[in-house]
Structure 1
Amino acid sequence: MAVRHVWVNRKPERVWGVLSDAEQYQKWVVGTKETHESEGHWPEVGTALRYTIGLGPLTEHGYTIVRICEPPGRLELEASAGRLGTARIAISVKPWGEGSLITMDEHPLRGAVAQMHTAPLDVALQLRHRLMLSRLRKVVESGRSEADREAGRHV
């Protein structure tokens, strides 16, 4: 089971702003080379986002479908990586002090990744999630925080 979390110095609404912006997807999702227009209005349930994933010259086309969307705290996705199979990705965002706690939980569902679901695969997913959550934190924390803007009003 690959579950990781990260604390970000922004409110859940700011985190949700990034999660709900399809154009931000490739900035924080590891392995995504480019995203293509979504079908529907991301992240409404049933909406799909298409993308190219890969490492170096090896590429695969994939898509992600929104299965559960409860702003600003819960987003559950089913990601398909072509021949590799599909995975369930659950993202929760909870207020935590002055910021937010983001938890990511990913489990293979079907295809080759589900058949190869072993402890070494979970280690690889943990490393991927560490990088992905680090990237997500950077995107979310870019720009001034609500507290910074409030402090600027009082100066």
Structure 2
Amino acid sequence: MARTWRIIRCTPEELSAVLADGWLYPVWVVGASRMRDVDSGWPTPGRRLHHSFGVWPVLIDDTTEALEWRPQARMRLRARGWPMGEAEVTIDVRAHAQGCLVRITERAVRGPGAWIPGFLLDPPLHIRNRETLRRLAFLAEGHAARARAGAAETP
């Protein structure tokens, strides 16, 4: 099971706003290349993101399903990427003196990826999720900074 963490300089509320916007998914998730649709009510458990992964001309359409959503604390997803398989991804968020501590835990649960021993699969997942958290930080910190600047300008 690959675990990766990062301190992001925004509040858990500001980070949750980015996670709750399904249309932003391919901006911060490494491998996702475009959104096709977002179920109404996302990220309520059972709702799905309809995305593609890969690079043109080899794009594969699949979905990611919300399994758990506790704003400002936890998001659990079932990410599908067939023919490679499915993974369960948990994003835990905790308040931190510098903003929030965000941890992604990922494990393959179905398909060929689930057959690969963890000692072989975890290092590339860690590298990918380190970049995923870097992108998520850019989005969340940028959104937070713009919101604060806008609030400061309002009389």
Taking structure 2 as the reference length, the TM-score comes to 0.90
Alpha-carbon distance between aligned partners in 2 of 1:56 and 1:150, rounded to the nearest angstrom: 38
SS at match of 2:41: coil
Q: Say if 1:86 and 1:113, in contact at 8 Å, map to a contact too.
A: yes
CA RMSD of aligned residues (A): 2.1
Alpha-carbon distance between aligned partners in 1 of 2:119 and 2:144, rounded to the nearest angstrom: 40
Alpha-carbon distance between aligned partners in 1 of 2:55 and 2:146, rounded to the nearest angstrom: 37
**2:47 matched to 1:47?**
yes
TM-aligned CA distance change 1:81 to 1:144, over 3 Å: closer
What is the CA-CA distance between 1:80 and the residue it aligns to?
0.7
Q: Say if 2:14 and 2:144, in contact at 8 Å, map to a contact too.
A: no
Q: Say if 2:50 and 2:61, in contact at 8 Å, map to a contact too.
A: yes
Aligned to 2:110: 110
Identify unmatched segments of 5+ residues in structure 1. Answer: none
Aligned positions, number: 153
TM-aligned CA distance change 1:17 to 1:144, over 3 Å: closer
Aligned to 1:2: 2
Alpha-carbon distance between aligned partners in 2 of 1:17 and 1:86, rounded to the nearest angstrom: 25
**2:51 matched to 1:84?**
no
SS at match of 2:43: coil
TM-aligned CA distance change 1:146 to 1:94, over 3 Å: farther
Taking structure 1 as the reference length, the TM-score comes to 0.90
**4+ aligned runs moved over 3 Å, structure 1:** 143-153
Identify unmatched segments of 5+ residues in structure 2. Answer: none
